[in-house]
Amino acid sequence: MRRLLPATFVVLLIAAAPAAAAPPSPGAPGLDDRLYPLLGNGGYDTLHYDLAMRYEVGDNPAQQSVDGTVTIFARATQSLSRFNLDFAGESVGSVSVNGRNADWTREDGELVITPRRPLAKGRPFVVKVSHFVAVPTLPSDDPTSTALFITPDGTATAAQPDLAHYIYPSNDHPSDKASYTFRLDVPSGRVAVANGVPTGRREHDGRTTWSYLQRQPMATELVQLAVGGYHLLFAGRHRGVPIRNVIAPSLREEGDPAVALTPEHLDWMMERVGRYPFDIYGSLIVDADLGFALETQTISLYDKIWFTVFGQGTWDPTMVHELSHEWFGNSVSPETWSDLWLNEGHASWYEFVYAEEKGFLAEDTENYPDETGYATLEELMRAVYAHGDQWRADDGPVAEPSSPDSLFAFQRYHGGALVLFALREEIGTRAFEKLESEWVRRYRDESVGTDDFIALASKVARRDLTDFLRDWLYGTTTPPMPNHPDWTVDPVQPSAQAARLAPAARRPTP
């Protein structure tokens, strides 16, 4: 049956008037992000991805490549003679632009597309990449191995920060978000889950196509495509939010009690920052040792370690950390990767506040019998403060990571939370809480940067906080902590990795 374009984009294609003629030129092959200059592409804004993936899922998933077709609806921001998509997958079948075959080449993770006719500035266009191939891999020390990774039950995805284009052609940068539709074609009996709400399931010739809609804009790095022998569990609605969990069969005993806390976690976050920003929420717990949890949009990803090695004092606050990302990082996304502290500093802040309330900061665990923890958030922040100059020397200031390798250092997590603690001390709890809720309300569905946060903080506090926050975020030395003149910073040591915190400084969780 012939598939129709979504009505929104039909209207755009018909109604949009062309801008004034300008000489066509190539779109830039990257967005000049300070840390990842070739991620993303210039010359257009994406509006919607329609992603169709066919999974063979044979006896050996490691040998089963995935065949995909992506249709991207976009708008030209300049007159384009050619443009790029990011793609580092195995191969591409064909490319069309506005229904006509287009020339294309591949260059170092870039798919360079030349349409039959130049694209006019301001006009919508449709690019379709057919029969591209993505290859699942076993998680390993190779940083690209978790893009589309294999578990004993099937596959799932973890694309942060720069791995989405190993799975599908895209404009792979968080500054260019778009809505999504997904169609996952899998053998009958397999579960297939993607971001957003389920919109249907169709049986055909021993196979099932599962369809999903991610209505609100999403950054490419937050995509989730999980296919396999998972348990799919719907737990009704809580405060209007449908709850869907996906758990590896081998982890039901550990996973079920954890996901049962989701309503409590939603209540806790909504009481602090306002209504949940998406149409559905839940967790995906996989039988894998990834070394991290990840806030894939509307369905947070956890590996087995959180529930089989760590106790509730670790996994419970970590689940709040990932949930808080739905507001901080997913709904309000970073404009550049240097703005990651806005994601991780906030998620760590709410993790620590929650842990303090529940008594987890002070908890000894059987996994860390030699570590005594912190009785209060203030004690934890004082310990983080002591490491301030060392972390700035090792990994760059909070909002200026020294390299991609330092992007996910403690500086973005605990250091980011320390900035928020300092800000609360400076402007008071009432203004701080108003700022937090206003931040996620005002910039819902957008990608914004550190300067936007500074400007809003100044507006809420009714005084200019530019110098104060820039010192904390970009300074090479740690500023004095407001209201705590007795807090001191340890001298910088030659050994960059010597600094270490006790249990509250658990390994960073993106």
Query: Is residue 109 predicted with pLDDT exceeding 70?
Result: yes
Is residue 94 within 8 Å of 111, Cβ to Cβ?
Answer: no
Q: What is the pTM for the complete model shown?
A: 0.92
Task: Report the amino acid identity of residue 400.
Answer: E
424 half-sphere exposure, CB direction, 13 A CA radius: 18
Banded model confidence at residue 61, pLDDT cuts 50, 70, 90: low
* pLDDT confidence of residue 280: 98
Q: How far is 318 from 358, CA to CA, in rounded Å?
A: 13
* pLDDT confidence of residue 15: 44
Say what percent of the chain tops pLDDT 70: 90
Q: pLDDT per residue over 321-349, tens digit each?
A: 999 999 999 999 999 999 999 999 999 99
Q: Rounded to the nearest 5°, which phi and psi values hold at 94?
A: -155, 165
Helices (H) and strands (E) in the chain, counts: 12, 22
Q: How far is 330 from 298, CA to CA, in rounded Å?
A: 9
Same CATH topology for 1-227 and 333-474: the answer is no
Mean pLDDT of 469-488: 98
Query: Is residue 470 predicted with pLDDT exceeding 50?
Result: yes
* Closest-CA residue to 378 (of 504, 491, 233, 270): 504
**Most trustworthy range by pLDDT among 3-17, 18-32, 257-271, 358-372:** 257-271
* pLDDT confidence of residue 364: 46
Task: State in words which class domain 333-474 has.
Answer: mainly alpha
Identify the residue whose tokens are 């992603």. Answer: 51
> Is residue 6 exposed (0-12), middle (13-18) or buried (19+ Cβ within 10 Å)?
middle
Q: pLDDT per residue over 344-353, tens digit each?
A: 999 999 999 9
Query: Is residue 117 predicted with pLDDT exceeding 60?
Result: yes
Banded model confidence at residue 367, pLDDT cuts 50, 70, 90: very low
Banded model confidence at residue 373, pLDDT cuts 50, 70, 90: confident
Query: Is residue 1 predicted with pLDDT exceeding 70?
Result: no
Q: Which residues pair with 112 in a beta bridge?
A: 84, 105
DSSP-assigned letter for residue 405: G
List the domain boundaries for the chain.
1-227, 333-474
Query: Is residue 68 predicted with pLDDT exceeding 80?
Result: yes
Banded model confidence at residue 26, pLDDT cuts 50, 70, 90: very high
Query: Is residue 507 predicted with pLDDT exceeding 80?
Result: no
* pLDDT confidence of residue 375: 87
How does 437-472 read in b/e, with b if 16+ C-beta sit within 10 Å? ebbbeebeeebbbbebbbbbbbebbeeebeebbbbb
* pLDDT confidence of residue 501: 53
DSSP-assigned letter for residue 339: G
Q: Which residues pair with 148 in a beta bridge?
A: 157
Q: How far is 247 from 285, CA to CA, in rounded Å?
A: 5
Mean pLDDT of 111-138: 97
DSSP-assigned letter for residue 164: G
DSSP characters over 217-258: EE-GGG--EEEESPEEEEEEEETTEEEEEEE-GGGHHHHHHH
Q: Which two tokens stand for residue 481?
A: 């902590």
Region of poorest pLDDT, from 225-229, 294-298, 490-494: 490-494
Q: How far is 79 from 27, CA to CA, in rounded Å?
A: 9
CATH code 2.60.40.1730 for 1-227: yes
Say what percent of the chain tops pLDDT 90: 87
Which has more pLDDT, 262 or 9?
A: 262
Query: Is residue 53 predicted with pLDDT exceeding 60?
Result: yes
* Closest-CA residue to 77 (of 19, 3, 33): 19
Helix (H, G, I), strand (E, B) or coil at 178: strand
Is residue 92 within 8 Å of 192, Cβ to Cβ?
Answer: no
> Is residue 491 exposed (0-12), middle (13-18) or buried (19+ Cβ within 10 Å)?
exposed
Region of poorest pLDDT, from 82-91, 191-200, 392-401, 487-496: 487-496
Helix (H, G, I), strand (E, B) or coil at 454: helix
* pLDDT confidence of residue 98: 98
* pLDDT confidence of residue 3: 38
Work out the mean pLDDT of the chain and round it to a whole number: 92
